[in-house]
Structure 1
Amino acid sequence: MNASDVTLAERGQIVIPKEMRDELGLKPGARLQICVVDGRLLIEKKVALDLSRWVGKAVDDGLTTNEALAELRGRPVPWQGGDVKA
């Protein structure tokens, strides 16, 4: 995506253009990290992956590998059959 011009509001706020929010999957409440690098303002999407539910538990849950991956990814598994037990 190309660069966009934005205006700094009185309280120091900026609006991230909708196309950029959509491209990055940013929703209200999304966590971002901001820093200055070589005189540039860098804003990055902060991704937190909490694996505590999975550490040592996938086998105990009785989930198949495909089911576990689907849950971790937060979306349905697009393939069927040939499932291997974790």
Structure 2
Amino acid sequence: MRVTEKGQVTIPKEIRDRLGIVPGSEVDFVASNNGALLVRVDNPEDQNSIRDFDDWAARVKGTFDTGGMSTDEFMVWLRGERDDLNPR
């Protein structure tokens, strides 16, 4: 997507529908070292709103328990076996 001279972009319909963004909705961009994320802001006055991706990542670090599974084991648990990776 292209940014206009006024710094505007059009949010694709698929994203608007998925996030429930309608005319008048409040959105924000969350900065990270790798770019930015678009987030819907239900209550812009909320002091707990995520303003920076790195701050959010630091707050949630260590809150997810994989039950001792490795990353590969967790991905198989989450997605199921991948037949396309080990063709017969």
- TM-score interval, smaller chain: 0.3 to 0.5
Structure with bigger helix share is 2
Q: TM-score, normalised by structure 1?
A: 0.45
Q: Which has the larger radius of gyration?
A: 1
- TM-score under structure 2 length normalisation: 0.44
